[in-house]
Amino acid sequence: MRLLLAEDERDLADALEAMLKHNNYSIDTVDNGQDALDYPVLDDYDGAILDVMMPKMDGVTVVKKLRENKKIHLYYY
């Protein structure tokens, strides 16, 4: 499973990335909201883990903008 991780605190991002990779996830990590919005449009992800408070754009706004994009399919569990 391929995930996008958006976290601006480097130590936390490193810890989360290591834990997820240890559990056989493929991870791309970004450190700001704009990249968190751009990456899913350019590439295919099975899910995303978004920080709420990030530089350039908060996580809630990222989700709202992804929902507006007709090419992005969001699933909720």
Residue pLDDT tens, the chain, 77 long: 999 999 999 999 999 999 999 999 999 999 999 999 999 877 888 888 999 999 999 988 998 888 887 656 555 44
What are the φ/ψ torsions at residue 22 (nearest 5 degrees)? Answer: -60, -30
Output the six-digit token pair for 76.
């909720």
**Which residues make Cβ contacts (< 8 Å) with residue 47, sequence separation at least 6?**
1, 3, 4
Full-model pTM: 0.83
Tell me the domains of the chain and their CATH numbers.
Answer: 2-68 (3.40.50.2300)
Output the six-digit token pair for 2.
């391929």
